């Protein structure tokens, strides 16, 4: 998948990404941002919405 530079910059995507399926769509996250988000959810004891 090719993501235009302008959108990559807006989403702050690095060279590695994670694609997460969310109900009726998918999200593309910078891998480090995704991992930090997952760690935060786990620390808060919340359930993973993904």
Per-residue pLDDT tens for 6-38?
Answer: 999 999 999 999 999 989 999 999 999 999 999
Average pLDDT score over residue span 40-48: 80
Per the domain annotation, does 49 fall within a domain? no
Domain with 20 in it: 5-44
Q: Residue 1 — very low, low, confident or very high, per pLDDT cuts 50/70/90?
A: confident
Tokens for 37, please give them.
């988000």
Count how many domains the chain has.
1
Average pLDDT score over residue span 44-49: 70
Per the domain annotation, does 50 fall within a domain? no
SS3 label, residue 50: coil
In angstroms, the Cα distances linking 26 to 23, 47, 50 are 8, 18, 10
Claim: this prediction has a pTM higher than 0.85:
no
Output the CA angle 16-32-34, nearest 5 degrees. 100
């Amino acid at each position: 998948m090719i993501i235009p530079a302008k959108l990559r910059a807006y989403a702050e995507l690095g060279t590695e990404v994670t694609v997460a399926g969310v109900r009726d769509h998918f999200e593309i996250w910078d891998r480090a941002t995704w991992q930090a988000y997952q760690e935060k959810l786990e620390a808060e004891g919340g359930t993973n919405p993904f």
